[in-house]
Amino acid sequence: MLTVTLQTAQAAPAVRAAWVVRYTLESPDSIRRMVQDLAQTGVNLAFVQVVGEMEAYYRSSLLPPAVEGFDPLAVVLQEAARAGISIHVWFNTFPAARYDQFYADSHVLHQHPEWMLVDSAGRSMINFTLAQRRQQPYITLDPANPQVRDFVTAVISEVVRQYPVAGVHLDYVRYPDGDLGYTQAARTEFQQRTGVDPLALVGGRGTAELRAQWRAYRQEQVARLVGQVRQAVKGLRPEATLSAALIADLTKAQNQEFQDWPSWLAAGLLDLAVPLAYSSRVEQMAANVERAVALSQGTPVLAGLGAWRVGASELERLVRRAERTGAVGVSLFSYDALRDQPGYLAATRRILAGEPLQTAAQRGQRSPPVADGALLRQGQLAEGAPQLGNQEQGVVAEAALAPGGVQDQASAFPCEQLNGAVGPGQRQGTNHPSVAISMAGQLLQEQGVALGSSQVTAEPGGLQAGRAAQGSDLQAGVVSQGEQAAGPGGVHRLTDCVGGVGVAGFRGEGDSIVIERVQGEVQSLQGVSDLAEFPAVRGGNQEGAHVLPQIGKYLLVFGLVSCLVGFLLILADKIPLFGRLPGDIVVRRGNFTLYAPLATSLVISLLITLVINLWRR
């Protein structure tokens, strides 16, 4: 239990928490690894998700099981007790299902479809259009339905009754959108109170007072659930901590998702408030947490930080600033993000311990050099070279070049940040999964190259948002006269390369790498997923070496050619040259009659596609 630490704010926050997403609970081994990782990182409180889409990661008589063969929560509690980690069970409160998943017949979606939210057009979320589903990935239960509130309370009570948990954490305890909540029962209750059907208020109609009442009505339904859960939890386990994940943007919380959490805190409904201050901007995060502290009415506040959105150095700044907001600690979303990004757990341990991050030079560390003439295939470094970056997630953090070229790389964050020390200093990352090449132990910045996000410089020879300026002059065995185009269909062209050549970074599907006029040996080639075999370029000038395009490029060209051939066939009956082929299928579209020889169309398209690609080579 963390009762004492939750009651006293300290200069160095005692609460160091992390959310653990339910997919980590799918095997005993992954649970044991999770607990071990969190303990080594310094986490002392874990919000462990046991209900996500109304499926149970515990033994339940109310919900269908999410996994078979073992009791995930029992394993979590057993392992966490040994490690000294407090477990708060985390519930997705109102979300019932996703559109792209299948559920057991006993699932609430099948048993009670009438419990789902309805929009102002009278459409249940079950029947949302594709466009609506993109905006709302969850089919959500109606908070205004008393049966729903009783059901959710019963699920939470089942866990608290059966397991010695330290706390209950409510997530998604809100409406998903302001245009939801128009079930017949809710409309009837509101009309009985006010004499007005809330449908008459849609689109800004009606008086401001009535619209405010309709907003307050939906806020009240969510608050009812929180109060009901609190009563049940405290009745079963008085010492358990009740917390909730709160939308940090108060205007959005109250007016769009009807989560009036300041009123919950004023009423003493929560023992711990966790604002989701996921902004990567330090002061924006701090403002959100400080607002929650100011409105907390004495309830301890835990700063929820979006660790998955930032790199280690940015997380360090967020944590240090959060410590000065009056919060009792920080909670990181999520363990899964920390685990999946190389080096992030180790960096987080130092951050949570209050230790500054260090560069490789400060630690006196050097990675082993790459053997002379080593060739990288499939993005894998040669034997004896340091494995740097997370290539499986589309980011190659470093290309190891000449001996002494790469010194250290702490971590690589896919599509977000590339962080870590390169030579005598720290190189910040890039928000674009592009290229990172070390220059014989020298910092890229020393050669006019800055890797960054929106703050990078675009000096001659520099790098901006993953694109190298034409004419960049990076000698010392890297790239001279390099021109790079990132993105789908891009071509990475290296001309007049001197010394060992290193190509690193993930390109879009269908991209090519072209090497021309190479002097010396190609030591590393990375960045194209179908890079199965690429002959080492040995010795003097080599012209026109190619990495073959990915299969995606063939499919793209084939699709485009098929569309073109199909369009021509639409006009076939208007063009005497084509005539009419036997076995045609007649398709009518308006005034056009298409005699579409499907097999012929596909064969023609395939031949044209092959010709185009052979010509491009």
What is the reported pLDDT for 181? 98
Q: 380 with 512, same domain? A: yes
Cβ proximity of 508 and 358 under 8 Å: no
pTM of the model: 0.62
Q: Which residue has the higher pLDDT, 493 or 22?
A: 22
How many whole angstroms separate alpha carbon 46 and alpha carbon 41?
12
Residue with tokens 């490029």: 553
Name the residue range of residue 262's domain: 3-352
| 317 CB burial (10 A radius; 0-12, 13-18, 19+) | middle
Same domain as 298, residue 151: yes
Give pLDDT tens digits for 234-244.
Answer: 999 999 999 99
Backbone angle region of 9, left / alpha / beta, with phi > 0 → left and psi within -120 to 50 → alpha: beta
Q: Compute the distance between CA of residue 158 and CA of residue 399 in angstroms, rounded to an integer.
A: 53
Q: Do 344 and 448 reside in the same domain of the chain?
A: no
Nearest in space to 300 (alpha carbons), one of 266, 269, 260, 270: 270
CA distance from start to end of the chain: 66
Distances from the Cα of 431 to the Cα of 271, 387, 417, 539, angstroms: 38, 21, 5, 36
Helix axes 208-236, 146-162, angle to 10 degrees: 30
Output the pLDDT for position 576.
37
* Domain termination site, one of 509, 528, 549: 549
Reported as a single tens digit per residue, the pLDDT across 262-293 is 999 999 999 999 999 999 999 999 999 999 99
425 has pLDDT over 70: no
Query: What strands, in cross-sheet order, belong to the sheet with 411-413?
Result: 411-413, 417-421, 426-427
CA distances for 367 relative to 17, 354, 387, angstroms: 33, 26, 9
- For residue 214, which of 205, 201, 223, 203 has the smallest C-alpha distance? 201
Asked if pLDDT for residue 328 goes beyond 80, the answer is yes
State yes or no: pLDDT of 52 exceeds 50. Answer: yes
Shared domain check, 78 and 135: yes
The total number of structural domains in the chain stands at 3
Going by pLDDT thresholds of 50, 70 and 90, the confidence category of residue 529 is: very low
pLDDT the model gives residue 377: 25
* Tokens, residue 133: 């589903």
Looking at the predicted structure, is the pLDDT value of residue 441 above 60?
Answer: no
By the 8 A CB rule, do 451 and 427 touch?
Answer: yes
Q: Which whole-number Å values give the CA distances from 13 to 38, 212, 303, 499, in the listed order?
A: 17, 39, 10, 52
In a domain, 313, yes or no: yes
In a domain, 357, yes or no: no
285: in domain: yes
| Tokens standing for residue 91 | 């519930």
Lowest mean pLDDT among 6-10, 398-402, 545-549: 398-402
**Cα torsion for 393, 399, 403, 405, to the nearest 10°?**
-110
CB-based contacts of 345: which residues, under 8 Å, 6+ apart?
A: 37, 40, 41, 338, 339
The CATH number for 305's domain is: 3.20.20.80
Which helix (H) or strand (E) element contains residue 140? strand 138-140
Domain match, 528 and 599 both: no
Pick from 159-173, 463-477, 491-505: least confident: 463-477
Give the closest residue to 553 by CA, choosing from 614, 596, 470. Answer: 614
